[in-house]
Amino acid sequence: MPDSANTFDTPTKKILPFILATSIFMQMLDSTILNTSLPSIAKDLNESPLNMQNAIISYVLTLALFMPVSGFLADKFGTKKVFIFSIVVFSLGSLFCAVSQNLTQLVIARVLQGIGGSLMTPVGRLALIRTFDKNELLPAMNYAIVPALIGPVLGPVVGGYMVDYLSWHWIFLINIPIGLVGIALSLKYMPDYTSDQMTFDLKGFLIFASASLLLSVSLELFGTATHTTPVLLIFILGFLMIYYYYRHASRTANPIFPLNLFQVRTFRVGILGNLATRLGISSIPLLLPLMIQISYGETAVVSGWIVAPMALTAMFGKSSVIRILNTFGYRRTLMTNTFIIGILICCLGIPGIKNSIWWFVPIIAVLGFFNSIQFTSMNTISIADLRNSHTSSGNSLLAVNQQLAIGFGIAFGLIVLKLFESNTPLMHGNPHLAFRYTFVVVGLLTILSGFVFRRLHTRDGDNMKSED
């Protein structure tokens, strides 16, 4: 068993994972809580619910644009100053969202939130990486990662209750007391790391930000566009910009994301594994509540409670992941765990329309346990072998990759669902079948993504294992 007393042996080490968890929780909750509240907000602002998607897209695009610069800002101005600044900006953005009188004001406030959110999690995680030794990082990251699992699950539930019993303004105001706690703890416990390397690759940032922007826009439009050709062109242009960045980085002395990051095999596998695995995992918190509301005719609150057990079992996964990784190693754990997650996603397609919706609860509960193991393992193996000089850029790239992977996953799930829905001969007028087939396809894709982790060696991640 890991010696937690030795790992968290100073006040900073005890509190820092909680500070990071606070920022992750705010960001993940805010990314999902708005979904169940859009109709109510639209009615209050005299807007069409379809136009309200701008309030979601503006936040996602801002995250994608500014995450690449988080590492440089932290190195130049210090992790403590940048982290506190990010929480202040995010909290102010939340306040402005709550007092918005029209859609334009709401979108501007969401952009302000996005600027804060794009710095909060990467900078907080960077401080964590630099504070803990390699063999201490796994339990520390394990404590901080739980909100990333709980936030997307609690978001629809909390949002549904707030809209029904309070008002939509409270889905933003809830961030302010959490932000104040984060600021107070950061002032006392957040370490202030800087770096001597002050050069900033402005051209590389603009190229990579353009690629992130184009890919994010295409992902948002894939799920809603009626004509796919323009969206596909935007998507292809995004990948061309990534190639342009590759050409730029190969000729630049200090690019914002050095290409030799990908010479580190564990980082390369971790980045690719995050992208591939999240294609399946990320679509479930959207597809399952959607199916329960559309096919079974239940309310948003009921659908939220069906998914809620995922948060509880994630806590059990958190308490088990260190022991599992110490016993089986990263390679075997990630390959087996990804396979299990894929099987469980396929199982979501088994219950028929005449079955009780509560059949989904045990499946989603077990899925939460293995998701917890998956996210902790993927995040820690990605930074296991990075040199100190690459920590900032590698951590920023991991954050951008995760954000895009979640977007890819949601878009992929919606595209597969629409393809099945449009296939009238196959569906026989039963839209519930489209959801069932989609779960099977997404589950099979997740199973296949597990083979990415075959590139890991048996001993990879040994320096991250906690001492017994």
Rg (CA), the chain: 21
Q: 191 in helix, strand or coil?
A: coil
Nearest to 341 by CA among 446, 413, 456, 412: 446
The CATH code for residues 258-468 is: 1.20.1250.20
Assigned token pair, 437: 């087939």
Contacts from 453-456 at CB under 8 Å and sequence distance 24+?
453/269, 453/273, 453/330, 453/331, 453/334, 453/335, 453/338, 454/331, 454/335, 455/265, 455/268, 455/269, 456/265, 456/266, 456/269, 456/330, 456/331, 456/334, 456/381
Q: Check residue 322 and give its pLDDT.
A: 81
Quick one: pLDDT at residue 1?
37
C-alpha span between 259 and 255 (Å, rounded): 8
CATH, range 1-200: 1.20.1250.20
The model's pLDDT over 244-290, given as tens digits with 9 standing for 90+, comes to 999 998 888 788 888 888 888 888 898 999 888 988 888 887 788 77
Question: How many whole angstroms separate alpha carbon 460 and alpha carbon 468?
Answer: 18
DSSP state of 214: H
Task: Specify the pLDDT at position 339.
Answer: 95
103-135 residue pLDDT tens = 888 889 989 998 998 888 888 888 888 888 777
In this prediction, residue 359 carries a pLDDT of 86
Q: Phi and psi for 363 in degrees, rounded to 5?
A: -65, -45
What are the structural domain ranges in the chain? 1-200, 201-255, 258-468
CB 24 within 8 A of CB 147: yes
Q: Is the dihedral of CA 106, 107, 112, 116 positive or negative?
A: positive
What is the per-residue pLDDT for 2? 45
Q: Which two tokens stand for residue 71?
A: 């590492």
Number of Cβ within a 10 Å radius of residue 40: 18
Alpha carbon distance, N-terminus to C-terminus of the chain: 5
356 dihedral zone (left: phi>0; alpha: psi -120 to 50; beta): beta
Query: Residue 389, Cβ neighbours under 10 Å: how many?
Result: 12
Around Cβ 383, how many Cβ atoms within 10 Å? 23
Strands (E), 189-232: none
Ranges under pLDDT 50 in the chain: 1-5, 468
Question: Of 130, 106, 164, 135, nearest to 301 (Cα)?
Answer: 164
d(CA 226, CA 216): 17
Q: Can you give the pLDDT at residue 130? A: 84
User: The tokens of 60 are what?
Assistant: 């996602």
64/172 Cα distance (integer angstroms): 21
Give the separation between CA 304 and CA 286, rounded to whole angstroms: 10
The torsion defined by the Cα of 81, 82, 88 and 89, in degrees rounded to 10, comes to 150
Token digits of residue 319: 């308490």
Domain 1-200 matches domain 258-468 at the CATH topology level: yes
pLDDT of residue 248: 92
Calpha distance 324→301 (Å, rounded): 35
